[in-house]
Amino acid sequence: MNPELKDFMEQPQHAPGKCLMSRRKFLLTSGAATATVMVVLNAGTPMAKEVPGVVTTYPRKFITKLSALKTDKPVDFGYPDKGAYAESIIVKLGVEAGGGIGPGRDVVAFNNYCTHQGGDLADTYKGDTKSLGACPLHLSTYDLTRHGILISGQAYQSLPQILLELEGDKIYAVGVFGLIFGRFDNLQG
């Protein structure tokens, strides 16, 4: 193992089996919520004034029911829209995962395109390692228990994670943590 990766893995939060960040930090970092901000109108003029504005980010989309998921059986869905590279998967890993929801915090969702050059990761989920890949183009593989961090291969960014919320038995997608391949803005449509 190279020395930099060894140092990284020896940090307590990066040890095998540990999540990279708390759910609270994950929620805050992903920017999934709707935020109220102050907007300055007519800036630099005598008429300048601050008014409240609302910035809406990601849609809240029903994905599936928690009770319908089976361990290691991914289900396809599209998020945040019907545009290019929106295909994603939701999967019940059977082990606790970063950003996971449900009683076992083991239900996670990820965009389905490799961050390197957009290889299609459909049907590459491996239940024994809880990973997605190897990418058919250059073999990148991602760890779904740890926010989609790269295990091996050519990519240098984690797989974008879809932020989930549970309401009763219903699972909703409410945001994306990371930039989807092929987009300069996840919400470009």
Candidates 3-11, 71-79, 111-119, 159-167; binding stretch for ligand FES (CB under 6 A): 111-119
The CB density around residue 19, as the number of other CB atoms within 10 Å, is 19
Residue 30 vs 115, nearer CB to ligand FES: 115
Does 114 sit near ligand FES (CB under 6 A)? yes
The sign one gets for the Cα dihedral 37, 159, 180, 62 is negative
- Per rule CB under 6 A, is residue 153 in the interface with ligand FES? yes
Q: Is 154 in the site for ligand FES (CB under 6 A)?
A: yes
Minimum CB–partner distance for residue 129 and ligand FES (Å) = 17
| Contact positions with ligand FES (CB under 6 A) in 76-105 | none
- Cis-peptide, bond into residue 52, ω within 30° of zero: no
138 CB neighbour count, 10 Å cutoff = 13
- Chosen residue from 80, 119, 148, 175 binding ligand FES by CB under 6 A: 119
122 touches ligand FES by CB under 6 A: no
Q: How far is CA 29 from CA 87, 91, 93, in A?
A: 22, 22, 23
Residue selected from 88, 140, 158, 161 as contacting ligand FES according to rule CB under 6 A: 140
Of the ranges 4-12, 51-59, 96-104, 147-155, which one interacts with ligand FES (CB under 6 A)? 147-155
Minimum distance from residue 131 beta carbon to ligand FES (Å): 13
Q: CB under 6 A: which stretch of 48-56, 67-75, 99-107, 130-138 binds ligand FES?
A: 130-138
Site residues, ligand FES (CB under 6 A) = 114, 116-119, 135, 137-140, 153-155
